[in-house]
Amino acid sequence: MERITWDQFFLAQCHLLALRSTCTRLAVGAVVVRDRRIIAGGYNGSISGGDHCIDQGCYVVDNHCVRTIHAEMNALLQCAKYGVSVSGADLYVTHFPCLPCTKSIIQSGISRLYYAMDYKNNSYAIELLKQAGIEVLHVPFDARKIDFLSTEREDLARDLLEELASTHTDQGTIDAYAQKVDALFGNRQKLSK
């Protein structure tokens, strides 16, 4: 097994946190990191003890759910709650932050922002990050690096292709499915009837 990079490791933590999200519109996770150590994490969800979107539906005002606290804010607020400075720390997040989160990131003293996916990247947020001198790095997250069942999934897909090849399915259909499997796993194997 190939060892993942630190960036992939911290983004994996963000994606795990996103699985705790109670938002039905977009699951987001964030971690604050200093010296390659996670000092806080957050996901988007309701206030502690409040109604959750997964239970009550989104509370949308001006096309934005106001019920949730964003992942970045939850991570930063966790640091504030426990008296942990984020000055000079890094923030990893699954999606590019919204404008209000960007402002909080800047005000908190974060030095570097790493994000895995573009999401409505606000041009003013980008401008503010530049003005603040915050290094912004887009690091695409490769979930296959942490898929502990990837071998079993690939074996199943290849077995199904073999089975399909043994039927009277035309070669074009087989090749089309093989291309999809290869895009997921690589190592194309030509299958013919």
Backbone dihedral region for residue 17 (phi beyond 0: left; psi -120 to 50: alpha; all else: beta): alpha
Q: Quote the pTM value.
A: 0.79
What would the mean pLDDT of 170-192 be, rounded to a whole number? Answer: 76
Selected catalytic residue, list 72, 127, 135, 154: 72
pLDDT digits (tens, 9 = 90+) for 6-20: 999 999 999 999 999
Highest mean predicted confidence (pLDDT) among 24-28, 57-61, 92-96: 92-96
* DSSP 3-state percent helix, strand, coil across the chain (nearest 5): 45, 20, 40
pLDDT in tens, 42-78: 999 999 999 999 999 999 999 888 999 999 999 999 9
pLDDT in tens, 106-153: 999 999 999 999 999 999 999 999 999 999 999 999 887 777 677 788
Active site residue 163: no
